[in-house]
């Protein structure tokens, strides 16, 4: 039960860290007061009713465009980045030695070492467990 609680809590903490550092932008295109298109990963497509710029410079028509674009930007945290340059030499030495010893813990032995390889077991003369048995009748 305790191990399951640790697994669930560590998973939830990882999700919290992931979503607190996540940044994204939501683009929305309105035509009048009506939401026409939303997009998260790319720019929104227009509805086709956007005002075109006049082709001549002499003609300037000031007409209000009925379409509008809005952006909702959600910024994540950038405080979690720790560069390895800011560590002191003693801290770098500790990290390097810790990683080296931790990796070496899981290396297997070349061969199985048995200390009883040269030991010869005694010969069985009597079955001692048969002599010590007692039966209830």
pLDDT along the chain (137 residues), means of 10: 90 89 87 85 73 57 72 79 74 90 75 76 77 76
What pLDDT is recorded for position 54? 53
CA distance 52 to 45: 15
Report pTM. 0.41
**Residue 125 per-residue DSSP state:** -
Dist CA 60 CA 74 (whole Å): 38
Which residue, among 96, 27, 104, 102, has the nearest Cα to 68 in the 3D structure?
27
| pLDDT at residue 10 in the model | 93
**Edge-to-edge strands of the sheet including 67-74?**
34-39, 24-31, 67-74
What is residue 9's predicted lDDT score, i.e. its pLDDT? 94
């Amino acid at each position: 039960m305790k191990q399951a609680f640790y697994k669930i809590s560590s998973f939830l903490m990882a999700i919290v860290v992931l979503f607190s550092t996540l940044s994204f932008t939501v683009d929305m295109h309105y035509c009048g007061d009506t939401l026409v298109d939303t997009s998260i990963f790319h720019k929104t497509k227009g509805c086709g009713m956007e005002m075109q710029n006049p082709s001549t410079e002499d003609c300037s028509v000031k007409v209000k465009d009925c379409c509008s674009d809005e952006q909702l930007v959600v910024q994540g945290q950038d405080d979690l980045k720790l560069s390895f340059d800011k560590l002191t030499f003693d801290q770098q030495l500790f990290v390097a030695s810790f990683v080296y010893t931790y990796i070496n813990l899981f290396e297997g032995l070349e061969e199985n070492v048995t200390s009883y390889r040269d030991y010869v077991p005694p010969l069985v003369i009597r079955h001692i467990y048969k002599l010590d048995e007692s039966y209830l009748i």
